[in-house]
Structure 1
């Protein structure tokens, strides 16, 4: 067991030297569907060799496939972004302002970090293919920015009429006016 000179606790010694495995008594039958003989036969069968490492061409193909997944990820977020933009409304509220902020912040950060997003996939042999993937990634980020521009245009924050730019231009008069009813 433990010697008086041994500084380690007994439980560490017990973990390092487990007791021998006790065999099952013959009087206890195996449960239905289980055979201890089949298990002992499986242990005798040699295991197949480990998985081989992929060749450099296969590795480049896998890296390119993963790079395409990264490049198309912003497009997968567009439907949810569009729904959130639509649901937030066109009035200036804190929620719609935060949605517009996020609609611009995420694509701009994505555009600025394009090289960092793909540096782990780039090798000397697949540099031209990664350039195409980067172009698709930039296109997806620009598309996400276009969603943000659409939202601020629908909120009326983009200066798109002449009266927004020219001081002497008069504002367009509305065709109808809504007058709230007085309730007594």
Structure 2
């Protein structure tokens, strides 16, 4: 028979399976470093200044502030969209066409979903103020639409000249022929 000895486990396995060493009494007598609060000090401090829940007025004010942030969001997109429109050029390339498509699609979707966007902020006490917020939101999205119209016009896709409507013009009759027919 062979008598094999099983080697002892590595040191890290023994340390992993054993509980951490307990703190000595001298470690507790040391003061906390500056700016550090021990868990005991934090629990005592939190008992003294327990956070009270916000009142309904405070919640309405916070909801109104957040709704104004959302309403002014499209205005923050205007400069970036204008720069992108300028940089994409006025030619009919895929990038400029897709940019124009997004300039029309995004505001129209946002206007259609106005009530859904602000539904979580509406309360009985803020209903009248939310009408103004929604109106500003729709106006800001209309500005994005106007930017899209400007870009389409710059690309030459809007019929704004007389030559764009030649198919609907009749033949011009000279004055001499109008008074003296053959």
Specify if TM > 0.5.
yes
2: CA distance, partners of 1:73 / 1:97: 24
Inter-CA distance 54–45: structure 2 relative to 1 (3 Å threshold): closer
Query: Which residue number corresponds to residue 149 of structure 2?
Result: 149
2: CA distance, partners of 1:108 / 1:161: 27
2: CA distance, partners of 1:40 / 1:161: 77
* Structure ranking higher on relative contact order (CA contacts 8 Å, 6+ apart): 2
Query: Which residue number corresponds to residue 88 of structure 1?
Result: 88
Query: Which residue number corresponds to residue 125 of structure 1?
Result: 125
Query: Which residue number corresponds to residue 7 of structure 1?
Result: none
In structure 2, runs of 5+ residues without a counterpart are 1-17, 171-182
Deviation at 1:30, TM superposition (A): 6.6
Backbone CA RMSD of aligned residues: 3.0
Query: Which residue number corresponds to residue 110 of structure 2?
Result: 110
- Asked whether the 8 Å contact 1:90–1:155 carries over to 2, the reply is yes
Query: Which residue number corresponds to residue 58 of structure 2?
Result: 58
Q: If you compute each CA radius of gyration, which structure gives the higher value, 1 or 2? A: 2
More helix by share: 2
In structure 1, runs of 5+ residues without a counterpart are 1-17, 171-184
Where has structure 1 moved over 2 Å in runs of 4 or more?
18-21, 24-27, 38-50
2: CA distance, partners of 1:22 / 1:53: 40
2: CA distance, partners of 1:43 / 1:125: 38
Inter-CA distance 84–125: structure 2 relative to 1 (3 Å threshold): same
The answer as to 2:36 corresponding to 1:42 is no
